[in-house]
Chain A
Amino acid sequence: NAGVMQNPRHLVRRRGQEARLRCSPMKGHSHVYWYRQLPEEGLKFMVYLQKENIIDESGMPKERFSAEFPKEGPSILRIQQVVRGDSAAYFCASSPGLAGIDTQYFGPGTRLTVL
Chain B
Amino acid sequence: AQKVTQAQTEISVVEKEDVTLDCVYETRDTTYYLFWYKQPPSGELVFLIRRNSFDEQNEISGRYSWNFQKSTSSFNFTITASQVVDSAVYFCALSEVYGQNFVFGPGTRLSVLP
B interface residues, tally (CB under 8 Å): 23
Band of interface residues on A: 20 to 34
Instruction: Assess A91 versus B105: contact at CB under 8 Å? Given A48-B100, A99-B95, A101-B33.
Output: no
Question: B residues near A, CB below 8 A?
Answer: 32-33, 35, 37, 43-45, 47, 50, 91, 95-107
Question: Beta-carbon contacts of A15-57 to B below 8 Å, as 1s and 0s?
Answer: 0000000000000000001010000011111001000000110
Instruction: Assess A99 versus B100: contact at CB under 8 Å? Given A43-B91, A89-B43, A109-B44.
Output: yes
Instruction: Assess A99 versus B104: contact at CB under 8 Å? Given A105-B47, A111-B43.
Output: no
CA distance A97 to B66 in the complex (A): 25
Question: For residue A8, which residues in chain B have a CB less than 8 angstroms away from its CB?
Answer: none
Question: A residues near B, CB below 8 A?
Answer: 33, 35, 41-45, 48, 55-56, 58-59, 89, 91, 98-101, 103-109, 111
Q: Which residue in chain B gives the minimum CB-CB distance to A47?
A: B101
